[in-house]
Amino acid sequence: MAHKTINIKLKVWRQKDAKSKGSFETYELKNISVDSSFLEMLDVLNEKLVSENKEPIAYDHDCREGICGMCSLFINGRAHGPDDLITTCQLHMRKFSDGETIVIEPWRVGSFPVIKDLMVDRTAYEKIMQAGGFVSVSTGGVPDANAIPIPKEDADEAMDAAACIGCGACVATCKNSSAMLFVAAKVSQLALLPQGKVEASRRAKNMIAKMDELGFGNCSNTGACEMECPKGISLAHIARLNREFLTANIKS
């Protein structure tokens, strides 16, 4: 059976750095396997550009297994492209049609300045984590699995929240560029566990303050973040974040 391929046209955002004015450049690729991933297709494009003595396109990637969250691309108007619950590296070319024009952009978020082309600086997320997304209590050596009793429902919900990979899709999708879903996930994964109680009175307060300081917007309440999150992080975590924030303010 013949291996199916497609011909595509790419409109790719090129930008030297955060201060430079960027623009779209158009490229054409032929005979791209529908079984290849989106990043493999970009590899082919870069090999073509290098062979033509042109500068390759800069884009972030690492694990290519949907774990690291680095492959932050806005594809045809959607974070990570036209599929659900996936990162860009998990997007395959079978999602596109022969002859289709594909528009590729970086995250359009002021708090994530462009480094070059399709790469953005997500250091802002790290600063939010440094503000309160940690546990300082000494837990000693590795305890037995049942040494600290935790209800299964709480453990499951904490693990669901911990699935957040910090890719930034929620911020890039939100019309207000809010980081509420990211912050909520990181607060939930600690707030539900006994080890996270030490910082509970200040965690949400400090992380939200840092989020505001870094220029992220307010929650839009539209739910777009949950829809485009590659890990399906629930909006229910934002409700918990609001409760934790209110509790912290009452205590202080």
What CATH number does the domain containing 52 carry? 3.10.20.30
Q: Let me know whether 226 and 132 are in one domain.
A: yes
Q: Let me know whether 142 and 29 are in one domain.
A: no
pLDDT confidence of residue 1: 46
Q: Let me know whether 136 and 245 are in one domain.
A: yes
In which domain, by residue range, is 95 found?
5-115
Q: Let me know whether 42 and 127 are in one domain.
A: no
Quick: pLDDT tens for 110-121.
Answer: 999 999 999 999
Which one, of 208, 96, 113, lies nearest residue 168 by Cα?
Answer: 113
Domain boundary among 70, 96, 115: 115
Q: Let me know whether 107 and 128 are in one domain.
A: no
Residue type, 104: I
Strands 5-14 and 23-33: antiparallel
Nearest-angstrom CA–CA distance, 221 and 218? 9
Q: How confident is the model at residue 144 (pLDDT cuts 50, 70, 90)?
A: low
What CATH number does the domain containing 236 carry? 1.10.1060.10
Q: Let me know whether 25 and 108 are in one domain.
A: yes
Q: Let me know whether 167 and 232 are in one domain.
A: yes
Q: How confident is the model at residue 61 (pLDDT cuts 50, 70, 90)?
A: very high
Q: What is the pTM of this model?
A: 0.90
Total of domains in the chain: 2
